[in-house]
Amino acid sequence: MSQRPTILITNDDGVEAKGICELVSVAKDFGEIIVFAPDSARSGMSNAMTCGKPIFFKKIKTEGNVTWHSCTGTPTDCVKLAFSTIMRERKPDLLLSGINHGSNSAVNILYSGTMGAVLDGCVNGIPSVGFSLLDFDENADFSATKEHVRKIIEFALKNLNKGVCLNVNFPLGEIKGLKFCRQADACWSEEFENRGSDSEPEYWLAGEFKNREPQSDDTDEWALANGYASVVPTQVDMTCYSALKEFDNFKF
C-alpha cells in the first residue's frame, strides 16, 4: 500500500454510540478514517436494505483525519451508499464495524446489523472486520479491547484476502488473547414473550441462547466462555458443499 490506508467505519448502534467512538480512537492511528453510520440504533437489522423509499446522509464533522457522516438507512445501506457516493472513486482499504454493544457470536451473525455491514464489505471485495463486546450496556467498558482491536487491524490490513471477513467478539473482563475459531452451532428458544394480556397480547423479542455443542473447544462460544476473544473467518458463500455432493446425483 503506497499511501496510508483509507478505513470505512460503520456500526448498528448508531453514530453516537460509545462503541464506534472507541473503535475510531484505535483505528485513527492507521490511516484516513471515514465514519458512515446510522443516525440512530439499528440493532437486529441483519443485511436489511431500504427498499421503496429514499435514504439520506450528511457530513457531521471533521476532526483531524476522521470525518463523520450519519445516514438514515440500515448498516448495509450505509456501506452501499458510502460506496455509491463519497467512496465512488476510491473504495476503502479496510471496512470496520462496531464495536457492537452485545454479542454477535455463533448464530447471532445472521441477525446482526454490525456483521451485515461487514458481509456487504466482503461481497464488494473489501477486507472487512466486525467487532462486538459481550455487554449490551450503553456505557460498557471497552478498555480491555483496545490492544486487541489494534492487533486485528494490523492483521487485517496485511493478511485478509478477498472473500473472507472476520467476526471478532470480546468477552467481559480481562481478555486472555485472540483465538481463531469456527462459528458454534447454537440457537435461541422461546424467542417472543407475551408482555400484554391473554386477550390483548403484545409479543416482545426475548429468548434464551443455547450453545448446542458446549464441549467443542474449537468454537467461538468456547473461546468466549474461556476468556478469549473469538475470531471467526467468515465467508458469504452459504452453500452446504457436503449436501451438494450428497444430492448431486438425485433424479427428480
Residues making up the chain, counted from first to last: 252
At closest approach, how far in Å is the CB of 17 from a second copy?
A: 15
Closer residue to a second copy (CB): 11 or 234: 234
d(CA 156, CA 150): 10
How many Cα neighbours within 13 Å face the side chain of 40? 1
Closer residue to a second copy (CB): 54 or 64: 54
Closer residue to a second copy (CB): 65 or 213: 213
Amino acid (1-letter code) at residue 42: R
- For residue 11, which of 131, 145, 114 has the smallest C-alpha distance? 114
At closest approach, how far in Å is the CB of 64 from a second copy?
A: 27
d(CA 232, CA 230): 6
At closest approach, how far in Å is the CB of 89 from a second copy?
A: 13
**b/e burial code for range 64-103 (CB count within 10 A of at least 16 → b):** ebbbbbbbbbbbbbbbbbbbeebbeeeebbbbbbbbbbbb
Closer residue to a second copy (CB): 3 or 174: 174
At closest approach, how far in Å is the CB of 142 from a second copy?
A: 18
At closest approach, how far in Å is the CB of 48 from a second copy?
A: 4
At closest approach, how far in Å is the CB of 14 from a second copy?
A: 13
d(CA 200, CA 131): 39
Closer residue to a second copy (CB): 6 or 46: 46
Closer residue to a second copy (CB): 143 or 252: 252
Give the pairing type, strands 229-234 and 165-170: antiparallel
d(CA 42, CA 55): 14
